[in-house]
């Protein structure tokens, strides 16, 4: 089985860490749409990964964002 590359794991973790977890309260429709789309993409990516791959990404994420994406 092929595991996730370090570069890909870092890219996913960087996007997770950059996620504005309070975007639902944003009044700006463009910002809301951006964060909503990013969240959807990240959830699709995470759903396709194995548990071992998620552990690698979790180690690179901030705790609050990891909890938001159910990695903890």
- Overall number of domains in the chain: 1
Examine residue 1 and state whether it is found in any structural domain, yes or no: no
Q: Is a pLDDT exceeding 80 seen at residue 2?
A: no
Examine residue 50 and state whether it is found in any structural domain, yes or no: yes
Tell me: the pLDDT tens digits for 14-26? 999 999 999 999 9
Predicted structure pTM score: 0.89
| Residue 30: domain span | 6-68
Angstrom CA distances, 70 to 19, 33, 52, 65, stand at 14, 22, 14, 9
**pLDDT at 65 (0 to 100):** 96
Examine residue 63 and state whether it is found in any structural domain, yes or no: yes
């Amino acid at each position: 089985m092929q595991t996730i590359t370090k570069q890909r794991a870092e890219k996913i973790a960087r996007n997770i860490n950059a996620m504005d977890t309070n975007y639902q309260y944003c009044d700006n429709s463009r910002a809301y749409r951006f964060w909503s789309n990013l969240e959807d993409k990240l959830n699709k990516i995470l759903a396709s990964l194995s548990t071992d791959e998620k552990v690698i990404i979790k180690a690179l994420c901030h705790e609050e964002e990891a909890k938001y994406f159910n990695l903890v």
